[in-house]
Amino acid sequence: MDVTRIFERLNEAQRRAVGAPPGALLVLAGAGSGKTRVLTHRIAWLVEAQNVLPPRILAVTFTNKASREMRGRIGKLLQASDDGMRNLWIGTFHGLCHRLLRMHFEEAGLPKNFEILDSDDQFRLVRRVLREQQLDEAYWPPKQMQWMINQHKEEARRARDLPAGEGQQQILHRVYRAYEETCQRLGMVDFAELLLRVFELFRNNQLLREQYQRRFEHVLVDEFQDTNTLQYRWLRLLCDAHKNIFAVGDDDQSIYGWRGARIENLLGFERDFPGAEVIRLEQNYRSSGNILNAANAVIGHNAGRLGKTLWTDAPAGTKVRLYAADNEFDEARFVVSGIAEWVQNGNRRDSAALLYRSNAQSRVFEEQLLSEGMPYRVYGGLRFFERAEIKDALAYLRLISNRDSDGAFERVVNHPARGIGAKTLETVRRRARDQQISMWKAAGESDGELSARAAGALQKFRQLIDEMAAAAAGMDLADTTEEMLARSGLLAHFKKDRGERGETRVENLEELVSAARNFAADDDEDAPDELSQFLANAALEAGEGQAEEWEDCVQLMSLHSAKGLEFDLVFLCGMEEGLFPHQRALAEGNQLEEERRLCYVGMTRAMKRLTLCHAAVRRLHGHERYARPSRFLSEIPDEHIEELRPSRISRIAQTNNAASHLELGRRVLHKKFGEGVVVDFEGRGEHARVRVDFAGGESKWLVCAYAELAPA
């Protein structure tokens, strides 16, 4: 292969990043600047120009979709077959750690057929532990306890690392310890445990650590700004010997602090890797000039950033439009009519997106879209492997593969109903707990404690699973799945529901057979059997934001869901103080910069046209309130804004730098009236006015240009 091809169609900054010498490199890739292209071309350059063997490269992404896309692009660059790409270690943190644990289960202290718990299975196990600890769920909510356990794991803290404490802390410690013991006894591994177990394996086993440090000579990381504490420590451990880490991220798009992402990992990269090079990708290939300049102005108000300014060769395009709605219904009518006009002009509906800060905002838009007969889809609904009927089917398959899976046993032992009630199950649970065995084994014991009918029902269920397992031994994965659906009674159960809901569930179960038929198992010598691989893949895929084949319909989504997507036309709605930025961010203060980054992400989703909307009055969460326009609106220079309504717009004057301190909530000083607080704005330019509530109880409107208000 001619290596010069690798650098074709790359700009200067991209070429510098792709061809940089080995070592620590941080690529600050702005929105729409081609970060995936840089990552894939870097791997191709390592293989073709530096003669690095593919198995010596480890590339980490955050979604399976991104992994597949990266693998496909690299294959085209290297002109390699699918088989030739198998040696590349490309995957998510969880997927890669799962692969490592399957290879080193003994060193990690796990059984060979350990089971991966998805979020729902983990929740049920936490509930079970709470019951065993005789704790009232009303006071110790399972969801909260599940979050607590995962948070500690993501900070690399075991139960033994926590102080025993007293009162509430003692209870939390006890639950975490009991949960760990249950998982270990049953051979179960939750998502956070996948990473923690591999991190501990490398940290505590020097020979194994050095083996993989030598094996993975080059480590590449996508979306580096989204790494949490444990992920970053895992990466540093792998790179400790050679320091060859190629991290691509954007501090301006770090919006997942609420789920553990630490922007400090990116901001402190040069400190943790002395001598690291930083390359900025600042040419944007997505948005028009006005959109880009408006977004740059907003994010420029954040202090905690490494700094970059995106630019584009694209025309300035239309200005960012600003609509001041009377209320949320007026806002919805305006947005839907704007999309209708867009479609009438020959554009596709799926090129338009409606973004909002809170999912609660979607209801009014959905009603308006329905009334106009405009097809739409709320992005981020339940994914395939999260659907209840699919989880039921997977539970049967999991029992076929591993009888000792308590989560699977509890889910389907009486589904469809076969006369096994709650009292019978509680007896089985107690037996399992007292004898330290699985519920499957406990259900097979006969000590006279259960009625003949209950014992018979359990025996029939166990016989059913055994028969399905015996049949599966001579079948491929798809036939096993199809046979299970018939024998278990699941398909017949959902076919009884003649409504649309029942039809959808039947179609989903039939699609599961197709998924099994199309599943490509790893045929490595040390790989587990096909069914085990399929179940692991299903658990890892559950909860990921992978889009289906959509029809031509308007896209509705939260700002968090919009990251990584792009649309010709974007409406960013609910731009009001307390809604966006969110009230929580205003109350806590330290979250305001993340809210601003979220605004930046939303604005840079737009390629051709961006409209920002706010309402004077909004009913949200059952309460009607008067709303002040978001401070983010005031941070956009006038030359990039087109107001669509002459009605009162509360925007901070942008006439000169002297007025920059006039922000809502700021304390100011007036020569005559004394100290006060800025509470509202009106108008624009030299005619902009500010309302100040002064200490003496007087409230006054003052013209910004002449008021001579100074910071208090």
Reported as a single tens digit per residue, the pLDDT across 434-447 is: 899 999 999 988 77
Give yes or no for a contact between 89 and 96, defined as CB atoms under 8 angstroms apart: yes
pLDDT in tens, 598-629: 999 999 999 999 999 999 888 654 456 778 89
Distance CA 170, CA 165 (A): 5
Q: Are 652 and 663 in contact (CB under 8 A)?
A: yes
Report residue 280 as tokens. 């900025």
What stretch(es) of the chain map to CATH 3.40.50.300? 3-103+195-282, 284-383+543-648
Annotation says 270 is catalytic: no
> Cα dihedral angle (379, 385, 386, 389), rounded to 10 degrees?
120
What is the arithmetic mean of pLDDT over 155-172?
86
Pick the CATH number of 284-383+543-648 from 3.20.20.140, 3.40.720.10, 1.10.10.10, 3.40.50.300: 3.40.50.300
CB-based contacts of 628, cutoff 8 Å, min separation 6: 576, 577, 578, 650, 664, 680
pLDDT band at 233 (very low <50, low <70, confident <90, very high): very high
Mean pLDDT for the stretch of residues 570-587:
88
Q: Which pLDDT band holds residue 543 (cuts at 50, 70, 90)?
A: very low
> Which residue ranges does the chain devote to CATH 2.40.10?
652-712
Read off the pLDDT of residues 642-652 as tens digits, 9 standing for 90 and up.
Answer: 998 744 434 43
- Indicate the helix (H) or strand (E) that contains 395: helix 388-401
Catalytic residue among 36, 182, 318, 427: 36
Model confidence pTM above 0.85: no
> Is there a contact between 69 and 291 (Cβ–Cβ < 8 Å)?
no
- For 412, other C-beta atoms within 10 Å of its C-beta total 22
Q: What is the predicted pLDDT for the residue at 657?
A: 38
Using DSSP bridges, classify how beta strands 641-643 and 320-325 pair: parallel, antiparallel or unpaired: parallel
Active site residue 309: no
Q: What is the DSSP string of 101-146?
A: HHHSTTTTT--TT-EEE-HHHHHHHHHHHHHHTT--TTTS-HHHHH
d(CA 630, CA 614): 8
Tell me the C-alpha distance between 90 and 67, whole Å. Answer: 6
pLDDT reading at 683 higher than 60: no
Active site residue 222: yes
Question: For residue 630, what is the DSSP state?
Answer: P
Structure tokens at 179: 């949960």
CATH 1.10.10.160, the chain: domain bounds: 115-186
Return the residue matching tokens 């730098």. 657
Residue 545 banded pLDDT, cuts 50, 70, 90: very low
- For residue 656, what pLDDT is reported? 36
Domain 652-712 belongs to what architecture? Beta Barrel (2.40)
253 classed as catalytic: yes
For domain 115-186, give the fold: Arc Repressor Mutant, subunit A (1.10.10)
- Indicate which residue of 61, 92, 253, 368 is catalytic: 253
Of the candidates 190, 193, 223, 593, the residue annotated as catalytic is 223
Higher pLDDT, 674 or 249: 249
Task: At 150, give phi and psi (nearest 5°).
Answer: -65, -40
Q: How far is CA 633 from CA 34, 266, 520, in A?
A: 28, 28, 49
505, 605, 608, 651: the catalytic one is 605
Residue with tokens 């600890």: 133
Q: Which tokens sit at 665?
A: 């909530």
Residue type at position 206: Q
Q: What DSSP letter does each residue of 493-533 carry, written as one string?
A: HHHT--SHHHHHHHHHHHHHHHHHHT------TT---HHHH
Q: What is the DSSP letter of 226?
A: G
Among 157-171, 498-512, 653-667, name the one with the lowest average pLDDT. 653-667
Q: What pairing do the DSSP bridges indicate for beta strands 710-711 and 667-670? A: antiparallel
The CATH architecture of the domain made up of 384-541 is Orthogonal Bundle (1.10)
Q: What percent of the chain has pLDDT over 90?
A: 55
Examine the pLDDT at 449 and tell me if it is beyond 90: no
**Which is the catalytic residue, given 115, 193, 217, 222?**
222
Instruction: Decide if 449 contacts 443 (C-beta within 8 A).
Output: no
- pLDDT at 664 (0 to 100): 63
Q: How far apart are CA 343 and CA 246, in angstroms?
A: 43
Helix (H) or strand (E) holding 89: strand 89-92
Give yes or no for residue 29 having a pLDDT over 90.
Answer: yes
Q: What is the CA radius of gyration of the chain?
A: 29
Q: Which of 385, 302, 370, 377 is nearest to 561 (CA)?
A: 377
Is 153 labeled as catalytic in the residue annotation?
no
Task: Kindly tell me if the per-residue pLDDT of 137 is higher than 60.
Answer: yes
Superfamily of 3-103+195-282 according to CATH: P-loop containing nucleotide triphosphate hydrolases (3.40.50.300)
Q: Are strands 641-643 and 667-670 parallel, antiparallel or unpaired?
A: unpaired
Q: Encoding tokens for residue 473?
A: 């031994």
Q: How many CB atoms lie within 10 A of CB 132?
A: 14
Active site residue 638: no
